[in-house]
Structure 1
Amino acid sequence: MSLYTSAEVFASSTLIENTDDLISSAHLLWNHADELSRCAHAYAQSAFFASQQMSSSYACPEHIYGISPAAAPLSEAARHCEQTALLLESYAAYLRDLADKLMRALHLYSHAEAQTSRWMQSLLATSSYVFPVQTGLGLAAVSAAEELSSGKASLAGFFGRHPREQQIYLDQLGNRLSNGGGVPGAAERLAKGAEELADVWQGNSLTVTPMPAVPLPAASTLSQSLTNLETLSSLKHGTISIQRYTRANGTHSWVVTIPGTDGQKDSPFGWPQNVDLMARSERARATADSQRAVLSAMQQAGIQPGEPVALVGHSQGGIIAASIASATQHPYTISHVVTAGSPIARHPIDTSKTWVTSVETDRELVSSLDGKDNPIREHWLTVRGRIRDSQPSASLQPTRVPNAKDTHELSHAMNYHTATFRDAKRLPSPELEAHETHFSELTEGRLDRNLAYECRMNKEPDSEHTHRTPENTGP
């Protein structure tokens, strides 16, 4: 089954207030593209008819292929008609793509949707708070009915429907559980129980051990950092990658790549740790075993205060990145955070010091678990992908998602996020280019250390094992 993603970029820039002329221009481009397609079809038909003729008649007029009919054989006429048809169709595709970029870059789809659905969202929020059980059952019934009628039904597809409504419902449910504290307040109340559960199941002894380097290439761009994250996610569970870059002047910068939740019994990247990481207070977040593991690996790698660090994480890995970036009780300089499918909207990241690039999709559920959209402010950019079962229309040019399943699934795997970011790169977004430049400048230099750490939990009495980084750590 072919799935497609169409990206929208949300950043701190103000929307253009008078967009009527730009909308008209986009529609004019689409109309011209349709005219060119009709001409291309006519020339293609001419080529077909010419190839069928048994006489010396000609299907294309003289001005099309530039030679005299008397001197041109029938095959030459057909060939020129075919070439003209292909050329016209390529021009039509270019105009459609240009119109698509113009509309999507202006956020018109999401802006119009927000205007028409605002009152429905307010009604849903009230209903979710006053009647949480009934509202939850109603949302489940609607999602189930839509999924069953899709022809590609699956349980994952059921959970991936109506992300906006899920987000509102979770926010109000969190308010009820925490007396107005939202999802972070509810997570704070549940954190202690989650820690006790994790201690019984996994133990509280954390081991962070150097292991043979993961062969990740230099992350010189945001796109490459996401590709590296996808590679890391497919390797042995509980593995952290740390790369050091050395500039010509001898200074260093670092990229720490963090995996998502794996659910393995001996891994600190388990399900209970997510609750700790989404809690309201820094103290509660700091107790998460997975965050302890990342900070231990950073310390062992030799990252020094003042050296710029980029944290790149998928799912729970992105929450860890946001938690460390918003924390005050560590010596590191977090210059850039890159997340894929991570609910981090409520983490108090100081974007005057740390740039944030978030990639989300609308069918993944996970990025909505904090009950809030990412903030739109300076140096915080969110790329959000709309996942569709097929190409929506001839006027849109989305990007195909590789390795998608035949039935509906949560669009939380890295293949969805990397495809969404590729699609966003096609948009003329100065904000996205600024984030690319910031990340590229951070990783400028030679990759001279490619480190990896295996993180494990056990029930031994030792609180935490530390290990010295091997001397031979080149890529």
Structure 2
Amino acid sequence: MMSDNTTWQIESTILGGVQRTAEASQIATVARALEECADGMTSAASGWASASLAMQWHRSGTFMCPTMAGVPYAPGHASFPYRALDESTARTAAQAQELGGKLARMASLLRRAHSIYDDAESSARRSMNESLQMMTGIMPEYAGLGGLTFAFGSFVVGSIREGNINPIHAIDGLSWAHEGLMSGLGMLVGGINPIDGLRRTDEVNVAAGRLATLSAPIKGLVQGDILTVTEVRSNTEVVRASSSVADSLENLRRLGEKRLGKIELNSGLDYATIAIQRYRKEDGSSAWLVTIPGTDGKFDSPFGWAQNIELMSTNPSQRMRADSARMVLEAMEQAGIPSDEPVVLVGHSQGGIVAAAIASDMSNQYDIQHVVTAGSPVANHPIPAKTWVTSIEIEDELVAALDGAPNPTTENWLTIRGKATSIPGTGPTSESSASADGQCMPSGTPSDRSRDFSGAAVRDAPQRKEITHWLKYHQAAYQNATDLGSPAVDTHARHFEEIIDGELEQTRYFQGRMSHLPTSTKATAPAQRHAMRTFGG
């Protein structure tokens, strides 16, 4: 059973981003040397431990030695200092073991920070996905039964270890197969031949396009297809000035959790709200930062569950007809964002898919220079090379794997993959660690542990395992990636910061509503007319 003080940390691995082959080769050589030293220290520790056991055996096997050892004065008897030597060998063995562990951790940190062998890891992951995809396409019944069996076993084992019945373990135990199973399912729904499926990665998106032709009309009948976008005022400063990716992720969390009612900031903002900020640079030009939270699931919200299907389509028209994408574009127009000023889009879950879709399909209308996604399945969105992408994903969150493929590993597309692990005896328990105003920045390392950067603590995490799709887990993943000192992460961070480097001039909030008929209130009529004119009813 887990300790009462168990908390959670995220260990990050960096994939993609700016790579330098010569530097990577040198670092790989250093990492191998460190591992060899670590193996040597481990062997030395085993040798010293064996020496201690050998002396104990020798002492117990020597005639009268155990008896005479307790006699203060025995004429003609010389006693060998077994006890002192035993303590010394045990101490040396422990030191060698500790040093070996430190060297091994250093090698691991070097590999994670500099994306060493990420090509090999990506290839292995792709091969695994293709195998699962092929199995699912050819033998869907067996693949489904195997997945359910493995998930049930993970649920049972995880619940026993935790000491509580927790269905989340059915998801995290199957994390290694999420992408492969999803791509196989997409291949079946999308009508893709298994052989053709080996040459592509967008099976899920093809299937989403097919499903969207059915789900969109049904959604329109139930929810309505008239989009109303209005500017609203906030009573408090929910989205604050940002100067970094970490700041923007915190603002995204505050706005998103306020929408879901997880924190109370007395802002007066309701669900389906995004924020648009304008920054004035030294040369007098402007830069724009758009903050887009994820699905809220409310009945008349443009950020409902059904909109995700349209956003995942391979068809640009279907993507841009999704209500959530329509809302963000309408808000951007109302905010007055011109086509020649730089824009940064930051989104969580569905918000990240919206950001990727706009960057993919509206590159001629807006100068989208950087996109940050957290927990968003965007691997197959055709984001142009001019746009930098920083994606943060957690291995067992499932949502980020719904695209059925790993993200591209290019210089302009960086992926931070985090893994959640428990840490007994450190940090916060189930009590909230957020401040009174809802601030919840990750602490970097759990409690006061030595800063070996092996992981960053998840703030406000419960004792038991929960869904890692909450944004606080992505914040911790980004914190750990930053702590590692990765050149790729640093380069992306600088690019982000240079775009919005300026004084915050304005923060505006926009809400969206879906309906069958426009309301007659004067406050919303202009926005309704524009939404109907631009996007159709």
Aligned pair 1:358/2:387, yes or no? Answer: no
Asked if the contact 1:365/1:410 (under 8 Å) is kept, the reply is no
Letter matched to residue 218 of structure 1? A
Partners of 2:30 and 2:155 lie apart in 1 by 37
Aligned pair 1:168/2:180, yes or no? Answer: yes
Asked if the contact 2:205/2:314 (under 8 Å) is kept, the reply is yes
**Once superposed, what is the RMSD of the aligned Cα atoms?**
3.3
User: Aligned match of 1:434 in 467, 491, 505?
Assistant: 491
Aligned pair 1:212/2:245, yes or no? Answer: no
1:67-116 deviations in whole A, cap 9, x for unaligned?
xxxxxxxxxxxxxxxxxxxxxxx999987764442132244586676677
User: Aligned match of 1:372 in 400, 405, 411?
Assistant: 405
Secondary structure of 2:325's aligned partner: helix
Partners of 1:343 and 1:243 lie apart in 2 by 25
1:218-244 deviations in whole A, cap 9, x for unaligned?
221111111111111111321101100
Letter matched to residue 10 of structure 1? L
Partners of 2:459 and 2:124 lie apart in 1 by 33
Pair 111,142 (structure 1): closer, same or farther in 2 beyond 3 Å: farther
Secondary structure of 1:296's aligned partner: helix
User: Aligned match of 1:101 in 84, 109, 115?
Assistant: 109
1:260-284 deviations in whole A, cap 9, x for unaligned?
0111112110000000000011001
The residue aligned with 2:208 is 187
Pair 98,17 (structure 1): closer, same or farther in 2 beyond 3 Å: closer
The residue aligned with 1:76 is none
Partners of 2:518 and 2:314 lie apart in 1 by 29
> Offset at 1:399?
1.5
The residue aligned with 1:229 is 252
> Offset at 1:300?
0.6
Letter matched to residue 279 of structure 1? S
The residue aligned with 1:156 is 168
The residue aligned with 2:12 is 7
Partners of 2:149 and 2:249 lie apart in 1 by 36
Partners of 1:408 and 1:24 lie apart in 2 by 35
Aligned pair 1:21/2:29, yes or no? Answer: yes
Pair 320,147 (structure 1): closer, same or farther in 2 beyond 3 Å: same
The residue aligned with 2:151 is 143
Aligned pair 1:249/2:270, yes or no? Answer: no
Secondary structure of 1:271's aligned partner: coil
Aligned pair 1:383/2:416, yes or no? Answer: yes
User: Aligned match of 1:289 in 323, 330, 353?
Assistant: 323
Asked if the contact 1:207/1:466 (under 8 Å) is kept, the reply is no
Letter matched to residue 431 of structure 1? A
Partners of 1:454 and 1:115 lie apart in 2 by 43
Partners of 2:127 and 2:338 lie apart in 1 by 50
Pair 109,138 (structure 1): closer, same or farther in 2 beyond 3 Å: farther
Partners of 2:138 and 2:333 lie apart in 1 by 48
Letter matched to residue 292 of structure 1? R
Partners of 1:369 and 1:300 lie apart in 2 by 32
Structure 1 vs Structure 2: percent identity of aligned residues?
36
Secondary structure of 2:9's aligned partner: strand
Partners of 1:99 and 1:329 lie apart in 2 by 41
> Offset at 1:340?
0.2
Q: TM-score, normalised by structure 2?
A: 0.71
Asked if the contact 1:33/1:96 (under 8 Å) is kept, the reply is no
> Offset at 1:156?
2.8
User: Aligned match of 1:457 in 506, 514, 533?
Assistant: 514
**Which structure 2 residues correspond to residues 417-428 of structure 1 after superposition, within 5 A?**
417-428=474-485
Partners of 1:459 and 1:434 lie apart in 2 by 47
Q: How many residues align?
A: 416
Pair 143,334 (structure 1): closer, same or farther in 2 beyond 3 Å: same
Partners of 2:124 and 2:315 lie apart in 1 by 36
Secondary structure of 1:343's aligned partner: coil
Asked if the contact 1:26/1:99 (under 8 Å) is kept, the reply is yes
1:395-414 deviations in whole A, cap 9, x for unaligned?
87212212223332221000
1:349-380 deviations in whole A, cap 9, x for unaligned?
012x2110000000100000010100011211
Letter matched to residue 164 of structure 1? W
> Offset at 1:387?
1.2
Pair 222,164 (structure 1): closer, same or farther in 2 beyond 3 Å: same
Secondary structure of 1:304's aligned partner: coil
Letter matched to residue 132 of structure 1? P
The residue aligned with 2:334 is 300
| The structure with more radius of gyration | 2
**Which blocks of at least 5 consecutive residues in structure 1 are unaligned?**
38-89, 469-475
Pair 156,212 (structure 1): closer, same or farther in 2 beyond 3 Å: same
The residue aligned with 2:219 is 198
**Which blocks of at least 5 consecutive residues in structure 2 are unaligned?**
1-5, 46-97, 193-201, 260-270, 425-449, 529-537
Partners of 2:459 and 2:208 lie apart in 1 by 35
Secondary structure of 2:406's aligned partner: coil
